């Protein structure tokens, strides 16, 4: 399995266009040793020819241009090696990129029912896209099944959607309340049929749910929610009143944070993604960045590639 991190920042990217926190200001002025990052998105492939996107960020156009395997094939006037998009949720930073793919004659999108409902009722995004291209919505299975290409052929990858705790997207507050039993956040588990390589994608995680344990014990790479370093990060920087937990993200640090249990997992690739612009791990000379590296964990960056 080929894996390419197209974007590794949370919503707004890094630096965020309207943010003057110490990280964003430091990167702009050259006083901070750090890498600019676009919003979270990952590309995976079994053969390096047909690709699947894990989420579709608002920065998708630049991300596609940065990675030649995703360029239009030389054999045709217009085309794309992108077979389908797999959505983990209906948040804006994971879905607005679909609008940037409207020039394609047909889109194939894997999205759980509640995610489709939110995009339809809250954004009217499927209705909008229908004016530009056809779109096939596919419900991802909750057990391991073949991941099919746009034409319905096996891709060489197996996949399943894993339900996670999470709230509806913010824009759904103005829409009629969805079912209390609906699940609005998912992770994905993928396995390469030829190599056996296994990837677990969890860009949003509220807490280490017990049903994730079998997947954590049976994967070769984990892409994990690294949004915030601490529970009160935004409050401490005077940027917002929300906590990491109230926004549905497990902080990295602290006795209940993700780094403690992540460090103990025997997984070759342990990588933080979806990193907020305020997170001190972005500063490569910070003690927080050093603590992550000392635990054997990688702070993900745009362009990071590996094979499983």
pLDDT tens across 244-283, in order?
Answer: 999 999 999 999 999 999 999 999 999 999 999 999 999 9
User: 93-129 pLDDT, tens per residue?
Assistant: 999 999 999 998 899 999 999 999 999 999 999 999 9
- In the prediction, which pLDDT does 105 show? 81
CA-derived radius of gyration, the chain: 19
d(CA 184, CA 39): 20
For the chain, percent of residues with pLDDT exceeding 90: 91
CA 121: distance to chain centroid? 22
Average pLDDT on 146-166 reads 97
- In the prediction, which pLDDT does 104 show? 86
- In the prediction, which pLDDT does 173 show? 76
What's the pLDDT band for 183 if we cut at 50, 70, 90? confident
User: 215-241 pLDDT, tens per residue?
Assistant: 999 999 999 999 999 999 999 999 999
- In the prediction, which pLDDT does 179 show? 52
Q: Nearest 5°: CA angle at 7, between 226 and 204?
A: 35
Instruction: Report the DSSP beta bridge partners of residue 164.
Output: 185
Q: Which of 253, 221, 223, 215 is nearest to 236 (CA)?
A: 253
pLDDT of residue 151 exceeding 60: yes
**Between the CA of residue 288 and those of 171, 184, 230, 268, what are the distances in Å?**
33, 31, 10, 21
Q: What is the mean pLDDT of the chain?
A: 95
258, two tokens: 């993700």
- In the prediction, which pLDDT does 180 show? 44
| Cis status, amide bond into 15, omega within 30 of 0 | yes
- In the prediction, which pLDDT does 175 show? 67
Q: Nearest 5°: CA angle at 197, between 192 and 198?
A: 95
Residues 6+ apart with CB under 8 A from 64: 6, 70, 71
Structural domains in the chain plus CATH codes: 2-307 (3.60.15.10)
Q: Which of 11, 2, 12 is nearest to 225 (CA)?
A: 11
pLDDT of residue 176 exceeding 60: no
d(CA 153, CA 186): 24
């Amino acid at each position: 399995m080929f894996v390419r991190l197209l974007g590794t920042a949370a919503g707004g990217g890094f630096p965020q266009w309207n943010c003057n926190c110490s990280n964003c200001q430091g990167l702009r002025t050259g006083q901070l040793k750090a890498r600019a990052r676009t919003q979270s998105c990952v590309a995976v492939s079994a053969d390096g020819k047909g690709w699947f996107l894990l989420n579709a960020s608002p920065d998708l156009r630049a991300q596609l241009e940065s990675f030649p395997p995703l360029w239009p094939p030389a054999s045709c006037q217009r085309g794309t090696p992108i077979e389908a998009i797999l959505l983990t949720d209906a948040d804006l930073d994971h879905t607005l990129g679909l609008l940037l793919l409207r020039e394609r004659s047909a889109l194939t999108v894997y999205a759980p029912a509640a995610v489709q409902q939110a995009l339809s009722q809250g954004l009217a995004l499927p209705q909008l896209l229908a004016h530009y291209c056809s779109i096939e919505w596919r419900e991802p299975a909750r057990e391991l099944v073949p991941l099919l290409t746009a034409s319905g052929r096996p891709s060489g990858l197996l996949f399943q959607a894993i339900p996670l705790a999470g709230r509806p997207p913010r824009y759904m507050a103005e829409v009629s309340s969805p079912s209390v039993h609906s699940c609005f956040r998912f992770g994905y588990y993928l396995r390469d049929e030829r190599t056996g390589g296994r990837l677990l994608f969890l860009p949003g995680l509220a807490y280490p749910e017990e049903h994730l344990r079998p997947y954590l014990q049976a994967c070769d790479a984990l892409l994990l929610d690294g949004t915030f370093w601490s529970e009160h990060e935004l409050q401490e920087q005077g940027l917002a009143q929300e906590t990491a937990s109230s926004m549905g993200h497990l902080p990295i640090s602290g006795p209940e944070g993700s780094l403690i249990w992540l460090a103990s997992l025997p997984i070759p690739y342990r990588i933080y993604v979806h990193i907020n612009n305020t997170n001190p791990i972005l500063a490569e000379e910070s003690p927080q960045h050093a603590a992550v590296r000392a635990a054997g964990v990688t702070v993900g960056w745009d362009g990071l590639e590996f094979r499983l």
